[in-house]
Amino acid sequence: MAHATQPASAMQALLGALSLPRRWRIGAGPIIAAVVLLVIVLSALLAPLYVPYDPMQMNSLNRLQPATADHLLGTDQYGRDLFSRIMIGGRVSLLIGVGAAVFSVLVGLLIGLVSGFFRIADAIIMRIMDSLMAIPAILLAIALVALNGPSVWSVIVAITIPEVPRVVRLVRSVVLGAREEPYVEAAIALGSGMFGILWKHLMPNTLPALIVQGTYICASAILTEALLSFLGAGVSTEIPTWGNIMAEGRTYFQVNPGLIFWTGAVLSLCILSINLLGDTARDMLDPRLKKREA
Amino acid sequence: MLGYIIRRVLAVVPVMVIVALFVFLMLRLTPGDPAAILAGDSATPAQLDRIRENLGLNEPLHTQFIGWVTQMFRGDLGVSLISKTPVSTMIGQRIWPTLNIAVLTITLSVLIAIPMGVIAAWRHRSWVDYAVMTFSVLGFSVPVFVIGYVFIQIFAIELRWFPVQGYMAPSRDFVGFLQRAVLPAFTLATIYVALIARMTRASMLDVLGEDYVRTARAKGLRENVVLFRHALRNAAVPIMTIIGTGFALLIAGVVVTESVFNIPGVGRLTVDAILARDYPVIQAMILLTAGLYVLVNLVIDISYTLIDPRIRY
């Protein structure tokens, strides 16, 4: 992935001409990933304006059709067009991915800053985080959704809670390293307020790592949404999401496997692209990691 | 060394207490009356009272918690609200399919992933390396159940090598067990292999540049001895760590895979219990899996000293 192939060489030349640092030069992989992701996001965003068929329109004469010229990816058990449903379904799936990423990062950042800076709080917070990490994320998430009801909001919360400890650990480790830096000591000596120091001097250090972590959480949240729906503990079934489309496809798997395979393929492509972009961002933001991994 | 083990074991106690507290509070702190949540929409006030009485919901929170924990310690996991059988009996009936398939999966994963990672690192930047990396990225991006259905479609429906779904106890018919367990085990193994192979590769790449590897080669050792005895042993600690933390992925995978392949294991038991709000079963299963996860990682932590004599506590 780190190697440029032909299509990217023009891009490479361009970046070279701009004399960007070497680590900012990217290969073909991330560019393809960005394009794929853009297509998926745009088709989800624009779905209310245009879809080939009404994704809710049932047609009993047209049930469980394989892919044809009329219905690009076939139809489901109610004769609804799969292609249109995948377009619409992406909205909620992507919303859950982005929502879970944003909330995990925000909550994790706040707890991590406190934990890294105040030693007394640290011991208690880290024990709680260790315990949360010991509970299998998927069980915790299904239990939370089962208790709080199948709304989009409760799915986002259910996915966020198990992700928070990892963000806290990350933020804490960065803060622990930065806390002893001379500029922080200087700020303390000058009598700056604790929260000013946390926000102005320590928080910016965590941003590169958080951006990378956020993309990974976004990808894994989209995956978890699919698992939750598949197990019957996701967003309520009348709302199309990628997970719900596949969950409904289970019963009819032997008649029309496309319901699971096409939706799964789109979802996997989306996750793959987000992960690839996350890797690229990590390599650009943290050259030390790249050296170790590559 | 003994001191370290004792300290490490004692560190488990607060973690498990907080897990228990969390599991306990999850139902109590949910908006609404827990008895009403458990009883469903059509419950009469008398039924609600009985549920409150059974769960001890009328007593103060700390009394409830202490009572519940002591009950757990006596091995009494409670009684299912739906089937009215003790939770421990239910788990006992369902644990074997899960354990058998889990053991098969872990064995398969380690046997496949470690050679994959070693070879990828050995032939760094070759097509093998890229193939392994591509596989491990894909393994993280495809939902477990989609992998399961792809396997069913190819190997059970098209090629007819294996049955589509079901389970057979190995004690009854070992060949029948293998026939039914191969697809679920490979499904589960995919993500675990992706994880372990990736870490093995990264860790081996670090080690292969070391002087003692050059020395081993210089004295004319065969390449497989250099790779698997000299290099792999030094690269083992991060690999062991990832096998331990990846255990959580395995648990998630078990839950989903048992649904796909219709295996009557504890994963299905848990999902069914959660969907039916069978709270004693949910509490027991979350507590047990968390305990298992903590235990596995404890054993791995302690075993570092055995594989890597440089580590002294």
Question: In chain B, which residues have their Cβ closer than 8 Å to the Cβ of A257?
Answer: 149, 153
Among all chains, which residue has been given the structure tokens 């915790």?
A: A140
Q: Are B304 and B237 in contact (CB under 8 A)?
A: yes
Domain ranges of chain A: 90-293
Mean pLDDT score of chain B:
86
Question: In chain B, which residues have their Cβ closer than 8 Å to the Cβ of A231?
Answer: 255-256, 259, 271, 275
Is residue B259 scored above 50 in pLDDT? Answer: yes
CA distance, residue A266 to nearest chain B CA (Å): 10
Q: Hey, which of A25-34, B149-158, B277-286 has the most confident mean pLDDT?
A: B149-158
Is residue A78 scored above 50 in pLDDT? Answer: yes
**Residue A3: what pLDDT?**
45
Task: Establish if A272 touches chain B: CB-CB under 8 angstroms.
Answer: yes
Token pair listed for A126: 């880290």
B216 vs A27, residue with greater confidence: B216
Where does the pLDDT of residue B151 fall: very low under 50, low under 70, confident under 90, or very high at 90 and above? Answer: very high
Neighbours of B26 (CB within 10 A): 19
Which of B22, B141, B256 minimises the CB distance to A230? Answer: B256
Cα separation of B9 and B71, whole Å? Answer: 22
Q: Are A4 and A28 in contact (CB under 8 A)?
A: yes
Mapped to the 3 state alphabet, what secondary structure does chain A carry? CCCCCHHHHHHHHHHHHCCCCHHHCCCHHHHHHHHHHHHHHHHHHHCCCCCCCCCCCCCHHHCCCCCCCCCCCCECCCCCEHHHHHHHHHHHHHHHHHHHHHHHHHHHHHHHHHHHHCHHHHHHHHHHHHHHHHCCHHHHHHHHHHHHCCCHHHHHHHHHHHHHHHHHHHHHHHHHHHHCCHHHHHHHHCCCCHHHHHHHHHHHHHHHHHHHHHHHHHHHHHHHHHHHHHCCCCCCCCCCCHHHHHHHHCCCCCCCCHHHHHHHHHHHHHHHHHHHHHHHHHHHHCHHHHHHHC
Is residue A220 scored above 80 in pLDDT? Answer: yes
Whether residues B289 and A139 touch (CB distance < 8 A) is answered with yes
Is residue A221 scored above 70 in pLDDT? Answer: yes
Q: How far is CA B140 from CA A29, B54, B247, in A?
A: 17, 44, 15
Helices (H), B123-246: 127-141, 144-151, 174-208, 211-218, 223-225, 232-234, 236-245
Q: What is the pLDDT of residues B108-139, one digit of tens each?
A: 999 999 999 999 999 988 899 999 988 988 88
Which of A137, A233, A261 minimises the CB distance to B252? Answer: A137
**Residue B33: what pLDDT?**
66
Overall average pLDDT of the B184-198 stretch: 93
Contacts of A294 (CB under 8 A, 6+ apart): A2
Contacts of A241 (CB under 8 A, 6+ apart): A89, A92, A93, A96, A225, A226, A229, A234, A235
Mean pLDDT score of chain A:
83
Cα separation of B23 and A143, whole Å? Answer: 10
- Looking at chain B, which residues constitute the CATH 1.10.3720.10 domain(s)? 88-307
Cα separation of B136 and B129, whole Å? Answer: 11
**Residue B28: what pLDDT?**
73
Q: What is the pLDDT of residues A160-175, one digit of tens each?
A: 999 999 999 999 988 8
**Residue B274: what pLDDT?**
81
Is residue A4 scored above 50 in pLDDT? Answer: no
Look at residues B240, B266, B272 and name the one whose alpha carbon lies nearest to residue B254.
B266
Q: Are B226 and B235 in contact (CB under 8 A)?
A: no
CA distance, residue A256 to nearest chain B CA (Å): 11
Alpha-carbon Rg for chain A, nearest whole angstrom, is 22
Q: How many residues does chain B have?
A: 313
**Residue A292: what pLDDT?**
45
**Residue A291: what pLDDT?**
47
Neighbours of A136 (CB within 10 A): 25
Which of A147, A261, A275 minimises the CB distance to B137? Answer: A275
Under 8 Å CB pairs connecting chains A and B tally to: 131
Token pair listed for A114: 């406190």
**Residue B30: what pLDDT?**
67
Residue to test with chain B: of A37, A86, A139, most B Cβ within 10 A: A139
Neighbours of A12 (CB within 10 A): 14
Is residue A13 scored above 70 in pLDDT? Answer: no
Which of B30, B157, B255 minimises the CB distance to A148? Answer: B30
Q: What is the pTM of this model?
A: 0.85
Is residue B293 scored above 80 in pLDDT? Answer: yes
Chain A residue nearest residue B35, CA to CA: A147
Residue to test with chain A: of B10, B13, B18, B25, most A Cβ within 10 A: B18
**Residue B104: what pLDDT?**
92
Fold type of domain B88-307: MetI-like fold (1.10.3720)
Chain B residue nearest residue A126, CA to CA: B15
A292 vs A51, residue with greater confidence: A51
Q: Are A46 and A38 in contact (CB under 8 A)?
A: no
Where does the pLDDT of residue A237 fall: very low under 50, low under 70, confident under 90, or very high at 90 and above? Answer: confident
Is residue B71 scored above 80 in pLDDT? Answer: yes
CA distance, residue A185 to nearest chain B CA (Å): 33
Q: How far is CA B53 from CA B58, B76, B94, in A?
A: 7, 18, 29
Cα separation of A266 and A273, whole Å? Answer: 11
ipTM passes above 0.85: no
Where does the pLDDT of residue A12 fall: very low under 50, low under 70, confident under 90, or very high at 90 and above? Answer: low
Q: What is the pLDDT of residues B138-148, one digit of tens each?
A: 888 899 999 99
Whether residues A135 and B22 touch (CB distance < 8 A) is answered with yes
Between A55-64, A155-164, B124-133, the lowest mean confidence (pLDDT) is in A55-64
Which of B142, B259, B286 minimises the CB distance to A231? Answer: B259
Question: In chain A, which residues have their Cβ closer than 8 Å to the Cβ of B10?
Answer: none
Look at residues B53, B50, B63 and name the one whose alpha carbon lies nearest to residue B24.
B63
Q: Is B86 helix (H, G, I), strand (E, B) or coil?
A: strand
Look at residues A294, A232, A281, A269 and name the one whose alpha carbon lies nearest to residue A41.
A269
Q: What is the pLDDT of residues A245-273, one digit of tens each?
A: 999 888 888 888 888 899 999 999 999 99
Where does the pLDDT of residue A227 fall: very low under 50, low under 70, confident under 90, or very high at 90 and above? Answer: very high
Question: In chain B, which residues have their Cβ closer than 8 Å to the Cβ of A252?
Answer: none
Is residue A57 scored above 80 in pLDDT? Answer: no
Whether residues B255 and A233 touch (CB distance < 8 A) is answered with no
Q: How far is CA A152 from CA A91, A155, A164, A231, in A?
A: 11, 5, 18, 16
Task: Establish if A257 touches chain B: CB-CB under 8 angstroms.
Answer: yes
Is residue A242 scored above 90 in pLDDT? Answer: yes
**Residue B194: what pLDDT?**
93
**Residue A2: what pLDDT?**
42
**Residue B37: what pLDDT?**
66
Neighbours of A171 (CB within 10 A): 27
Whether residues A139 and B255 touch (CB distance < 8 A) is answered with yes
Fold type of domain A90-293: MetI-like fold (1.10.3720)
Is residue A157 scored above 60 in pLDDT? Answer: yes
Exposure of A163 by Cβ count < 10 A (0-12 exposed, 13-18 middle, 19+ buried)? buried
Contacts of A201 (CB under 8 A, 6+ apart): A178, A183, A184, A187
Which of B15, B144, B274 minimises the CB distance to A233? Answer: B274
Which of A1, A127, A264 minimises the CB distance to B14? Answer: A127
**Residue B155: what pLDDT?**
92
Is residue A35 scored above 90 in pLDDT? Answer: yes
**Residue A26: what pLDDT?**
66
**Residue A40: what pLDDT?**
93
Is residue A14 scored above 70 in pLDDT? Answer: no
Between A57-71, A100-114, B174-188, the lowest mean confidence (pLDDT) is in A57-71
Is residue B8 scored above 90 in pLDDT? Answer: no
Between A4-13, A86-95, B203-212, B272-281, the lowest mean confidence (pLDDT) is in A4-13
Cα separation of A197 and A175, whole Å? Answer: 11
